[in-house]
Homo-oligomer: A and B are copies of this chain.
């Protein structure tokens, strides 16, 4: 499942929603990305995350299909926020549901790598007196 939203999400609720109907799942690896207080030697107060809404679902669907071909995934969940986010707020959740541990780890790592490269989001960091668009540093 792919969700692109402005609102925060609850990790427990989101994972349980999928997991509760998948009793064969023994392993869930998840990654959560947050807004950090410091980046490129500057104090960050908040970020604005721009998204190309029409493209992002296509792109993330491609990535999850590839991940499912490569690793034995039973399901996967991606939630990515956009808009205005303050320090400590969640940006992204990727959760990979598998029978076994290593499959879920590998799939989650794989999806995050591709998401960082191809998902059409752009971060603008807001400092005390100005703001700046980021280049992806991976």
A interface list, Cβ under 8 A from B:
10-13, 15, 19-20, 23-38, 87-88, 99, 101, 104-105, 108-109, 112, 116
Contacts and interface: CB of A to CB of B under 8 A. Distances in A.
Main secondary structure of the interface of A (DSSP, over half): mixed
Contact of A88 (B23, B36, B104, B105): B23
Contacts of A104: 31
Count of identical protomers in the assembly: 2
A26 B88 CA distance: 8
Contacts of A26: 33-36
Given A12-B13, A13-B12, A23-B87, A28 B34 contact: yes
Given A10-B12, A11-B15, 11 more contacts: A12-B13, A19-B34, A23-B38, A24-B38, A25-B34, A26-B35, A26-B36, A28-B31, A28-B32, A29-B30, A105-B109
Given A37-B24, A88-B19, A31 B99 contact: no
